[in-house]
Amino acid sequence: MSKRPNFNHLAIAVADIDAALVFYRDALGLQVERIEEVEREAVKVAFLPLGDGSHDIEIIQPTRDDTGVAKWLAKHGPGMHHVCIQVNDIQAALARLAAHGVELINPQPAQRSDGTRYAFIHPKSAFGVLIELYEKPAPHQD
């Protein structure tokens, strides 16, 4: 497949999702598809779909003080935390990044319960941007 990498989501870290939604939902007019607590990552996430719904803005609120997001938020204040780019072959993408000497937070992809494989690239190597890569599982063949 030669499909281009695609935008998947932009994550915005805040201290209080409900306060943030007064802006993002009520004033800016974005829809909230759902709010979910992801215990394993110690965040509450509001999913705000954009366009055809294949990508979104995710507003994340840390639910514990000792996580990366919580520490980032304490240091920087609210703002754009990471951008997620969906690729076709995350293994190949990580191999190419490593070959270029890029610092990877996850040299091997981790996997979510829905089968999505993901890995973070260190912002040091990405000009200050924390980039998450996604590879979505192939759709079922009927």
* Residues lying near a second copy in the complex (CB under 8 A): 4-7, 10, 12, 14, 20, 22-24, 26-31, 49-53, 55, 59, 76-80, 83, 85, 87, 93, 96-97, 99-100, 102, 121, 123, 125-129, 131
Cβ-based neighbours of 19, under 8 Å, separated by 6 or more: none
Q: In this complex, which beta carbon is closest to a second copy, that of residue 70 or of residue 93?
A: 93
Which residue, 20 or 43, has its beta carbon nearer to a second copy? Answer: 20
- Shortest spacing between CB 27 and a second copy, in angstroms: 4
Task: Compute the least distance from the CB of residue 24 to a second copy, in Å.
Answer: 8
Find the shortest distance in angstroms from Cβ 110 to a second copy.
19
Q: Which is nearer to a second copy, 40 or 75 (CB)?
A: 75
Residues near 129 by beta carbon (within 8 Å), at least 6 away in sequence: 82, 83, 123
Q: What is the 3-state secondary structure (H, E, C) of 18-73?
A: HHHHHHHHHHCCCCCCEEEEEHHHCEEEEEEEECCCCEEEEEEEECCCCCHHHHHH
Question: CA 106, 119, 31, 113: dihedral to nearest 10 degrees?
Answer: -90
Q: Which is nearer to a second copy, 39 or 98 (CB)?
A: 98
Nearest Cα to Cα of residue 3 among 136, 141, 140? 136
Q: From the CB of 71, what's the least distance to a second copy, in Å?
A: 16
Closer to a second copy by CB, 128 or 142: give it: 128
What is the nearest approach in angstroms of a second copy to the Cβ of residue 123? 7
Q: Distance between CA 86 and CA 130 in Å, rounded? A: 14
